[in-house]
Amino acid sequence: MKGNSKNTKLRNIYDSVMLPNYSPADFIPERALGSRLWDKDNKEYIDFGGGIAVNSLGHSHPVLIEALNKQSKKIWHISNYLTNEPAIELAKKLTDLTFAENIYFSNSGSEANEAAIKIARKYHSSRNDPRDEIVSFTNSFHGRSLLNISLGNSQMHRDGFEPLMAGIKQGEFNDISGLKNLITEKVAAVIVEPVQGEAGVISATSEFLEEIRELTSKKGVLLIVDEVQSGVGRMGSIYGYMNYGIDPDIVTSAKGLGGGIPIGATLTKRSIGEVMQPGSHGSTFGGNPIACAVANEVINIISDKSFLKKVNEKEELFLDLLSEMKDKGIFSDIRSSGLWIGCDLVDRNSNEVLNQAYAEGLILVSAGSSCLRLAPALNIHEEDIKEGVGRLKKVLLGN
Ligand code: PLP
């Protein structure tokens, strides 16, 4: 890459020192506020990507900054030989607000899922009924660890990394007819996303999740709902499972929970969680006081009913503004669930559109090669939505 800008100089160093597993944009973000971001050359962007559904309250939220600053002056890290007040408070909050009675903290979505699968296996083996099968679904995404690429079914994610974890069976997402043969007494757990984000914001049907719940209950199989991307207000509810009226056995959470500070959580019922006795599992950083102090404030804000109502209102505004591009044949389909929107492009490559959008001052993420994914801050201002969609129109319609 040639040029003298501050962005370019840094980006050239990136190319020489980083593992080439990502291909980030040519600019380097320097600072950000709310849903606006500025790069090293002071160019401004509107952020519709939200750090892939992570910056639930936008950038530099004053309440989160205060929580982080306050906690940073008290205590940073103590390990799990000791516990800490922010972690206890956060676990109490999550149990008060959800089906769960026991919480395990980690640092990411992949780790939250790892814990969920371990809990499920331990649960059955503790009852002298060891079960080695796990059921996941086509087009699912659960993370990039070896376990999680085994659960997901992207060949691109798996290439070169086999052998995968044994015992995983895959069903067709949203296909009820296949479930009976899949969910048997040999299965330890079924893991499912209520909405598949990486696949392009594809919602599970109510019938599908209800049938899974019924069959898993009948066969003594645990139901794990992966809410790493869908949780913490993204779908206009505290967790997405609440929109379906089902009662999971385990929920995994991460991304938006920390509002940008790494944290993962595995939520479960006491009757299941109690099998994880001391020594059974752990994480050096899990339950870190700084991450938990910030997540406490995220949960305080997003669990407010009026906040969640606004998420749904802003979804409507997005859909209204984006519909012109569907009417004009730019998008073949637009799907949404709260502030989480997938737009299928006609005859365009999503990564090319991402680069064109950067040039117009707009940050988007993709879902595959032909879908644009929007997962903005849940508190994004109306003006940012209007101006950002305006910039997108400029990219896609040229006006
Ligand atoms: N599960 C889902 C549904 C996700 O969307 C993701 C990440 O995109 C993960 C798990 C993995 O989370 P992490 O990247 O924090 O390990």
Distance from the alpha carbon of residue 216 to the mean position of ligand 1, in angstroms = 24
How buried is 203 (Cβ within 10 angstroms: 0-12 exposed, 13-18 middle, 19+ buried)? buried
Distance from the alpha carbon of residue 237 to the mean position of ligand 1, in angstroms = 19
Q: Indicate the top mutation candidate among 54, 198, 255 to test ligand 1's pocket, ranked by most ligand atoms within 8 A of CB.
A: 255
Distance from the alpha carbon of residue 96 to the mean position of ligand 1, in angstroms = 24
Structure tokens at 210: 């209800």
pTM exceeds 0.95: yes
Q: Is 145 helix (H, G, I), strand (E, B) or coil?
A: coil
| Per-residue DSSP letter, 258 | G
Residue 164, Cβ neighbours under 10 Å: how many? 13
| Per-residue DSSP letter, 257 | G
Amino acid at residue number 353: V
pLDDT at 2: 56
Computed on alpha carbons and rounded to an integer, the radius of gyration of the chain in Å comes to 21
Distance from the alpha carbon of residue 177 to the mean position of ligand 1, in angstroms = 28
Burial 21-57 (b: 16+ CB within 10 A, else e): eeeeebbbbeebebbbbbbbeeeebbbbbbbebbbbb
User: Of all atoms in ligand 1, which is nearest to the CA of residue 197?
Assistant: 5
Which helix or strand (DSSP H or E) is residue 326 part of?
A: helix 305-327
Q: Atom 11, ligand 1: which residue's CA is nearest?
A: 143
pLDDT at 236: 98
pLDDT at 132: 87
- Residue given tokens 């709310």 in the structure block: 34
**What are φ and ψ of residue 87, in 5° steps?**
-70, -40
pLDDT at 399: 73
Q: Atom 12, ligand 1: which residue's CA is nearest?
A: 109
Q: Indicate the top mutation candidate among 227, 229, 230, 232 to test ligand 1's pocket, ranked by most ligand atoms within 8 A of CB.
A: 229
Dihedral over alpha carbons 232, 236, 239, 240 (to 10 degrees) = -130
The CA-based angle 252-257-260, given to 5 degrees, is 130
Distance from the alpha carbon of residue 42 to the mean position of ligand 1, in angstroms = 31
Strands (E), 117-243: 133-137, 168-171, 187-192, 195-196, 202-203, 222-226
- Per residue of the chain (399 residues), give pLDDT as tens: 556 799 999 999 999 999 999 999 999 999 999 999 999 999 999 999 999 999 999 999 999 999 999 999 999 999 999 999 999 999 999 999 999 999 999 999 999 999 999 999 999 999 999 998 999 999 999 999 999 999 998 999 999 999 999 999 999 999 999 999 999 999 999 999 999 999 999 999 999 999 999 999 999 999 999 999 999 999 999 999 999 999 999 999 999 999 999 999 999 999 999 999 999 999 999 999 999 999 999 999 999 999 999 999 999 999 999 999 999 999 999 999 999 999 999 999 999 999 999 999 999 999 999 999 999 999 999 999 999 999 999 999 997
Using CB distances shorter than 6 Å, the residues near ligand 1 are 108-110, 113, 141-143, 193, 197-198, 226, 228-229, 254
Q: Atom 7, ligand 1: which residue's CA is nearest?
A: 143
Structure tokens at 140: 């699912």
